[in-house]
A and B are shown apart, each in its own frame.
Chain A
């Protein structure tokens, strides 16, 4: 492998690579795809579909609460609705959509042709899809979980959690853990070993850093919820007593394990969004993000601190005072790295020349909305204050300001920004502005009054309230805000539909000032991403490249090969042969899914399921000689 200077890659090279890397035609080919872009797109679309479902659930809840003693839904359905809403938004939308953006964009941004383990990637997606469908099948058949997305024992346990509702919930969570951990492994290995030559760690785009930190957080947070949900499933299915106080278990054990995952989860959603913000701000101000080392340091510090806050979800369970002080201090401390990033972004905008296109508008929305959530976040770090607002609508307001401000605004900006890369088409700018304006107004009108509702005594998770509480008018206002949000989502859907109906119009970089490598290839990218792997000469790959772009040659074109580079400096190390399309990940996911679903009904599913899952796994790993393999003694030829 050598780095040579090259202009446009010859058509013959492109043709050969296309032959090697393209998905096979037809439905079967579609199901066999292991292309990170196909899988990433399916992930994003699936997650967005769940976002719409979660939004519909929220809309019904807002209708119910619009008036005191309303009868849109009864208590049983209401409980299912808020459990489904939380579970959907956290497990089926937020984390998957963030990892999906990473799975699509990271290989492009670091100049590689696929993720590290493409078949595993496909398996993870299908596991996630099956888990989500299972949860919604249960819900539509009247078995929606009803103990909250946090599923506190003993309410979710065998004694009080009726029917199969919480078993379905626990298994759904298991599916999403599998998908999440797989995505994390994909991203970590891809980032560490597949960066283009020249992209040393200290030249990595901030987007890639944020994805890396997110992936490590998933890797360390998800196993806790896996243990927790399995304990719950076992308590329910096999009469273990992990959470039963009367038999030596502990009801609070659930909460500790849940929040040791649950708090990092918030940062798992928030940190990738910071990557979008840095990328979009830099493109739309035509400036390098101010303070790269501080930004990277802040991401990493946030990643660590995110694990030291979980007890602030449990302040009213009676924590010893010294412990409370520690968790208060840690919760307040996390405002420092976030503050530093804020100041760096403001400095970037200040020094730059902002261009007010839709993605940038969403960044302004992110600042205005997220800072309110951040400030109320410092407030609830206080144990005395939290003892008033914990489990009230103040927290509902806070968490939506943080998650919508900190994740959904950046994500929406990211949709507008990368849509041309995903589809070859630019989303409409006028509808985009309407989308932004309505969303911004809707979010504030829906959630700001909830701060006041909480302070004036309205607890969360109540299906109704009496008129005398005085909560009626603020609730009506919140519902009007929710309607505005719904309209803005419809505007977005119309925008997408109109854009997809039009002809592809996007050049490689329709924004003209992008700095990351995905904009060096066509929109949408070819199956092989890069005809000639680029060599990176600075932190802002497209801005810092020389007039004649050096490229890497020497990878085979008749086989799927990746260039593996060293961890720190991204020196070329070796070529790696990566798998062809295959149906086995899908079949293995179906087997896993069948087993998990059957496990809700009988422990014997484990016995049969072991065989069921082993079969496709054996087929998956079966050694198949491929053209060009060296002939090994004793091996098949």
Chain B
């Protein structure tokens, strides 16, 4: 996946362009671009209003004052002032009206009906994202976590769900945010102009690890997306050597299988992220860490020190068991 020009690889598995990991001022999709245009308009108008009002205030405060005007002059000045204040109010109304027109036109464009090739169901959990690709538009159901893959250039409807508290999906480079509310049906369109990796983050306070509930949107070419999807459809890799076989045994006999699914094995719990293709993902812990062996080891042994309060318990494994488990997890591409 190519990143933006001039970016550099970061800890969290994506490229930071122009120094920001995620930004509404660097639109990469049609929705974010429209909102950015509205922002620029409002910024210039506001700057002009600020300048005029503060200018009038400062001039009015510090202007040189002549001797007291007589009462005739006072009446004229009073009338002039009244006109000035009324003009100010009138200009305010005109500016607000222009703002409303522009704002409503952007709002309409964002709300216009679109055709989605397929739909994604995004379920917010404390504190990670469950991503389900919904059949029938796609060959079958795929479940992954903390990474949404979409084909670039096409709108994709994301249906938002939560079963615990309120979360909010926000990928600023692509579009504005939308809440995930228990018992409510909400949705959001995601569309990226070009292939790239776009970071997002939960935007509604959802408890202790609200700060570490990130996700990535990976926009790929259509062919690249199809390939990724096909690989996700496949069941998990089958261990071929004794170490990974021991690793799978560790996975199934220790606490792991109580919460996680690895398709193709008896592990089928859904309290934590689906790990069938864990090794294909860029991050672990919902964007908390880059997905590599060292980080994975730290996460498995003591997730609480990385993300205090998560459901992932500390695991006490013998060194050889830990190594075997890591080797097995690394095969889950």
Chain A residues within 8 Å of B100, by CB: 328-329, 332
A409 to chain B, nearest CB (A): 14
Interface readout for A373-397 with B: 1 if CB under 8 Å, 0 if not? 0011011011111111111100000
Q: Which of B10, B34, B56, B182 contacts A245 (CB 8 A)?
A: B182
B11 and A466 within 8 A (CB): yes
Q: What is the CA–CA distance of A336 and B60 in the complex, to the nearest angstrom?
A: 21
Residue of A nearest to B19 (CB): A470
A290 and B81 within 8 A (CB): yes
B211 and A387 within 8 A (CB): no
| Interchain pairs with CB closer than 8 A, number | 236
A155 and B203 within 8 A (CB): no
Which segment of B170-178, B233-241, B251-259 sits at the interface?
Answer: B170-178
B181 and A385 within 8 A (CB): no
Q: What is the CA–CA distance of A465 and B209 in the complex, to the nearest angstrom?
A: 11
A152 and B209 within 8 A (CB): no
The answer, yes or no, to whether B317 is at the interface (CB within 8 Å) is no
The answer, yes or no, to whether B1 is at the interface (CB within 8 Å) is no
Interface readout for A60-82 with B: 1 if CB under 8 Å, 0 if not? 00000000000000111001000
The answer, yes or no, to whether A339 is at the interface (CB within 8 Å) is yes
Chain A residues within 8 Å of B34, by CB: 384
Q: What is the CA–CA distance of A460 and B206 in the complex, to the nearest angstrom?
A: 11
Interface residue count on the A side (C-beta < 8 Å):
78
A304 to chain B, nearest CB (A): 17
Residue of B nearest to A459 (CB): B203
B92 and A245 within 8 A (CB): no
Chain A residues within 8 Å of B228, by CB: none
Q: Which of A76, A245, A367, A391 contacts B54 (CB 8 A)?
A: A367
- Contacts A324-B107, A364-B61, A375-B46; is A344 near B181 (CB within 8 Å)? no
- Contacts A75-B211, A155-B206, A350-B60; is A336 near B96 (CB within 8 Å)? yes
The answer, yes or no, to whether A629 is at the interface (CB within 8 Å) is no
Q: What is the CA–CA distance of A324 and B54 in the complex, to the nearest angstrom?
A: 32
Q: What is the CA–CA distance of A367 and B57 in the complex, to the nearest angstrom?
A: 8
B38 and A385 within 8 A (CB): yes
Residues of B297-316 at the interface with A, using a CB-CB cut-off of 8 Å, are 308-309
Q: Which of B42, B82, B177, B186 contacts A391 (CB 8 A)?
A: B177
Residues of B40-98 at the interface with A, using a CB-CB cut-off of 8 Å, are 42, 46, 49-50, 53-54, 56-57, 59-61, 63, 65, 77, 81-82, 84-85, 88-89, 92-93, 96
The answer, yes or no, to whether B24 is at the interface (CB within 8 Å) is yes
The answer, yes or no, to whether B245 is at the interface (CB within 8 Å) is no
The answer, yes or no, to whether A321 is at the interface (CB within 8 Å) is yes
Chain A residues within 8 Å of B12, by CB: 466, 468
A159 to chain B, nearest CB (A): 8
B196 to chain A, nearest CB (A): 15
Q: Which of B88, B165, B170, B199 contacts A155 (CB 8 A)?
A: B165
Q: Which of A74, A154, A389 contacts B24 (CB 8 A)?
A: A389
B22 and A456 within 8 A (CB): yes
A126 to chain B, nearest CB (A): 33
Q: Which of A154, A245, A318, A463 contacts B211 (CB 8 A)?
A: A463
The answer, yes or no, to whether B320 is at the interface (CB within 8 Å) is no
Chain B residues within 8 Å of A378, by CB: 42, 46, 96, 99
The answer, yes or no, to whether A612 is at the interface (CB within 8 Å) is no
Chain B residues within 8 Å of A325, by CB: 104, 107
A316 and B211 within 8 A (CB): no
A160 and B164 within 8 A (CB): yes
Chain A residues within 8 Å of B319, by CB: none
Q: What is the CA–CA distance of A328 and B107 in the complex, to the nearest angstrom?
A: 11
B48 to chain A, nearest CB (A): 10
The answer, yes or no, to whether A477 is at the interface (CB within 8 Å) is no
Q: What is the CA–CA distance of A325 and B211 in the complex, to the nearest angstrom?
A: 32
A375 and B50 within 8 A (CB): yes
- Contacts A350-B60, A462-B210; is A328 near B205 (CB within 8 Å)? no
B247 to chain A, nearest CB (A): 29
Q: Is the interface of A mostly helix, strand, loop or mixed?
A: helix
A371 and B24 within 8 A (CB): no
The answer, yes or no, to whether A507 is at the interface (CB within 8 Å) is no
The answer, yes or no, to whether A308 is at the interface (CB within 8 Å) is no
The answer, yes or no, to whether A351 is at the interface (CB within 8 Å) is yes
The answer, yes or no, to whether A455 is at the interface (CB within 8 Å) is yes
- Contacts A76-B308, A251-B184, A470-B19; is A383 near B107 (CB within 8 Å)? yes
The answer, yes or no, to whether B191 is at the interface (CB within 8 Å) is no
The answer, yes or no, to whether A486 is at the interface (CB within 8 Å) is no
Chain A residues within 8 Å of B84, by CB: 343, 347
Chain A residues within 8 Å of B274, by CB: none
Residue of A nearest to B54 (CB): A368
Residues of A534-553 at the interface with B, using a CB-CB cut-off of 8 Å, are none
Q: What is the CA–CA distance of A611 and B129 in the complex, to the nearest angstrom?
A: 52
Chain A residues within 8 Å of B85, by CB: 290-291, 294, 340, 343-344, 347
B176 and A388 within 8 A (CB): yes
Chain B residues within 8 Å of A159, by CB: 164
A351 and B50 within 8 A (CB): no
A470 and B50 within 8 A (CB): no
- Contacts A75-B208, A364-B61, A457-B22; is A154 near B96 (CB within 8 Å)? no
Residues of A388-415 at the interface with B, using a CB-CB cut-off of 8 Å, are 388-392
The answer, yes or no, to whether A252 is at the interface (CB within 8 Å) is yes
Chain A residues within 8 Å of B279, by CB: none
Q: Which of B56, B77, B183 contacts A351 (CB 8 A)?
A: B77
A459 and B170 within 8 A (CB): yes
The answer, yes or no, to whether B264 is at the interface (CB within 8 Å) is no
Interface readout for B141-178 with A: 1 if CB under 8 Å, 0 if not? 00000000000000000000000111010101001111
Q: What is the CA–CA distance of A346 and B88 in the complex, to the nearest angstrom?
A: 11
Q: What is the CA–CA distance of A487 and B10 in the complex, to the nearest angstrom?
A: 38
Q: What is the CA–CA distance of A155 and B210 in the complex, to the nearest angstrom?
A: 12
The answer, yes or no, to whether A372 is at the interface (CB within 8 Å) is yes
Residue of A nearest to B200 (CB): A457
Chain A residues within 8 Å of B331, by CB: none
Residue of A nearest to B105 (CB): A384
The answer, yes or no, to whether B332 is at the interface (CB within 8 Å) is no
The answer, yes or no, to whether A556 is at the interface (CB within 8 Å) is no
The answer, yes or no, to whether B25 is at the interface (CB within 8 Å) is yes
B262 to chain A, nearest CB (A): 29
Residue of A nearest to B87 (CB): A343
Q: What is the CA–CA distance of A402 and B65 in the complex, to the nearest angstrom?
A: 32
B168 and A391 within 8 A (CB): yes
Chain A residues within 8 Å of B202, by CB: 459
- Contacts A252-B184, A317-B186; is A383 near B103 (CB within 8 Å)? yes
The answer, yes or no, to whether A272 is at the interface (CB within 8 Å) is no
Chain B residues within 8 Å of A455, by CB: 23-25, 39
A384 and B96 within 8 A (CB): no
Residue of B nearest to A473 (CB): B19
Q: What is the CA–CA distance of A335 and B35 in the complex, to the nearest angstrom?
A: 22
Residue of A nearest to B56 (CB): A346
Q: What is the CA–CA distance of A633 and B179 in the complex, to the nearest angstrom?
A: 69
Residue of B nearest to A324 (CB): B107
A247 to chain B, nearest CB (A): 10
B50 and A468 within 8 A (CB): no
Interface readout for B208-234 with A: 1 if CB under 8 Å, 0 if not? 111110000000000000000000000
A152 and B176 within 8 A (CB): no
- Contacts A154-B166, A364-B61; is A347 near B204 (CB within 8 Å)? no
A349 and B20 within 8 A (CB): no
B201 and A459 within 8 A (CB): yes
- Contacts A75-B211, A154-B182, A457-B22; is A342 near B35 (CB within 8 Å)? no
B176 and A384 within 8 A (CB): yes
- Contacts A252-B184, A379-B42, A384-B103; is A469 near B21 (CB within 8 Å)? yes
- Contacts A290-B85, A456-B23; is A152 near B203 (CB within 8 Å)? no
A155 and B166 within 8 A (CB): yes
Q: A344-B85, A470-B19 are in contact. List 4 more A-B contacts (CB 8 A).
A: A152-B204, A351-B81, A390-B177, A459-B202
What are 8 inter-chain pairs, A to B, with CB distance below 8 A?
A: A159-B164, A371-B53, A384-B38, A459-B203, A459-B211, A460-B203, A461-B211, A462-B211
When A and B form their complex, which 3 residue pairs have the shortest distance between CB atoms, in order from nearest? A387-B176, A245-B183, A350-B60
